[in-house]
Structure 1
Amino acid sequence: MARKTVKRSPSAGAAKAKGEDAPAQGQGRPARRRLSPDERRSQIVAAAKALFSEEGIDQVSMRKIAREVGITQAAIYQHFENKEAILFVIIEDFFGDLLEALSSAIASEVEPLRKLRAGMRAYIEYGLSRPEAYRLVFMTPMSGLVRAGVAVPRTAEATLQPSKGALAFNVLDGAVREVVNRGMTRHSSTDLLAEAIWAAGHGIVSLLITHNEFPWTDPAKVIDLQIDLLFRGLLHEGCPMRTGMF
């Protein structure tokens, strides 16, 4: 009597070793849809972002991210070289949305000083709306600033292929330059003023994020007053906008 040959489907273990989704077992159970490379990358980034926020970047390994997603450690390296590469994607996404927020805020104003003020307000509101992402980008030991190109926005290399971080900073830089060119400011160094304004915005965002339990009188009023005080110091005393704007 001839032996009947049974065709076996790939085992779940074999599929997992290749970094694939395991086929469903049992009668009536729908097969799991295999994710596209883009979908898998998005899944990895989302899992890593949550783990980075909860445990800290240094405490999260590629193995842990892979386990969270449900794939093998070997499979995750098919999509990202290391966790720094995943962090870079998170950073670029953050700065891409920030760029849109800044550009939209500045475009809504005509007068240069109001443009700058609107941009600063947009930066603060955006940071406060994404506290965990803001922590990862600006408030972790493995800072994303250099990787995102923000620390070197004025080099020839960054100019040829600017990152989203550099482009976002350039929106602020451009608004500051316009105010300086109108002769409104005490200082004529655009670079210095842009950095000082960014430092002030970052300071209030990080303070409100890390001390959100503090009984603030009114966070919105604190933000407005902080911006007012900054701009009063920014403008020279003879500038009519110094008293007329606020």
Structure 2
Amino acid sequence: MSEHVAPGGNEAPASEPTEQAVPATVRERLSPVVMEIYAAGDFHRVDMRTIAREAGMSFRTIYRYFGDKESLLFYFIQYWLSGLYPAALKPLDGDGDLHSKLLGVLRLHFEFYEKNPNIGRIIFMTVPLERWMRDPSYAQRELMLRMLNAIKDAQQQGAVRHDLDSRLILDMFNAIFNRAFLMWEYRRRSYSLVAQAEPMLSVLWSGVASNKGPAKAPASTSTKTAAKNSLTRKTSAA
């Protein structure tokens, strides 16, 4: 039977499962099973009946709350990441420089994935990105907006190159997570992931740091006109 069709055709699943809608008993029972199965296997080979069997729950119960294996996984990714956010936002608070803020955010992420490698495996290796990008859990909008604002502030202060799009800097920063985790897994976790934060950020920082002063606001029309008139008078006098 297709996982997208309700048993008997009568029971409609919740379209967007929320932490409030899913009973805590169901969530806590499924969480370790979902994590273990998705971290160890191919996303496309996982099926909800296997999850139901391993969790000792009925297929109907799981279907009632999630509907399909994609919604099930994305729900639990959001649930697991509650252990990372909003803690990862704390370095962005206060008046510190951007380098310190980015390093703090990077360290918190690496600490989390070093302690929870199966979550990292699921996020960076198992999830089909094309599908996940269409799910609200992918965006992490609050974190991204706060980081963009921090980057823009640093550009205005002259600490970061203002000839670069702030989104490009953010994309480069986010790319560190993916590559760092993949190589850590490939190398059998033979070193500290957290210890990679500072040298990795230093490489990025050397490319975006500015030696110039704060970004200057564009000259107003009246200022430009005055300067032009002054130049004309000087030329005439000569």
Q: What TM-score do you get using the length of structure 1 for normalisation?
A: 0.66
1:45 aligns with 2:31: yes
1:193 aligns with 2:169: yes
Map residues 164-175 of structure 1 onto 2, 5 A cutoff.
Answer: 165-175=140-150
The structural deviation recorded for 1:39 is 0.7
Question: Any idea what the Cα deviations from partners look like across 1:157-214, whole Å, max 9, x if unmatched?
Answer: xxxxxxxx22233333232222222222234311111011111233223221332355
Aligned twin of 1:230: 204
The residue type paired with residue 196 of structure 1 is M
In 2 relative to 1, CA 117–97 (structure 1 residues): closer, same or farther, beyond 3 Å? Answer: same
Question: What is the rounded CA distance, in whole Å, between the counterparts of 2:133 and 2:120 in structure 1?
Answer: 12
Identity %: 19
Aligned twin of 1:204: 180
2:72 equivalent among 86, 105, 112: 86
In 2 relative to 1, CA 213–74 (structure 1 residues): closer, same or farther, beyond 3 Å? Answer: closer
3-state SS, counterpart of residue 25 of structure 2: helix
Aligned twin of 1:16: none
Map residues 58-137 of structure 1 onto 2, 5 A cutoff.
Answer: 58-107=44-93, 110-137=96-123
In 2 relative to 1, CA 102–221 (structure 1 residues): closer, same or farther, beyond 3 Å? Answer: closer
In 2 relative to 1, CA 202–147 (structure 1 residues): closer, same or farther, beyond 3 Å? Answer: same
Question: Any idea what the Cα deviations from partners look like across 1:54-82, whole Å, max 9, x if unmatched?
Answer: 22322211111111121222232122211
Question: What is the rounded CA distance, in whole Å, between the counterparts of 2:111 and 2:197 in structure 1?
Answer: 10
| TM-align CA RMSD | 2.7
Question: What is the rounded CA distance, in whole Å, between the counterparts of 2:95 and 2:177 in structure 1?
Answer: 19
1:147 aligns with 2:135: yes
The structure with the largest helix share of the pair is: 2
- What number of residue pairs does the alignment pair up? 190
Question: What is the rounded CA distance, in whole Å, between the counterparts of 1:175 and 1:98 in structure 2?
Answer: 19
Contact 2:38 2:122 in 1 (8 A): yes
3-state SS, counterpart of residue 84 of structure 2: helix
Question: What is the rounded CA distance, in whole Å, between the counterparts of 1:60 and 1:53 in structure 2?
Answer: 11
Unaligned 5+ runs, structure 1: 1-35, 154-164, 240-246
1:56 aligns with 2:56: no
3-state SS, counterpart of residue 99 of structure 1: coil
Question: What is the rounded CA distance, in whole Å, between the counterparts of 1:69 and 1:95 in structure 2?
Answer: 21
Quick check: 192-201 or 124-133, which moved more?
124-133
3-state SS, counterpart of residue 34 of structure 2: helix
Quick check: 179-188 or 77-86, which moved more?
179-188
Q: What TM-score do you get using the length of structure 2 for normalisation?
A: 0.68
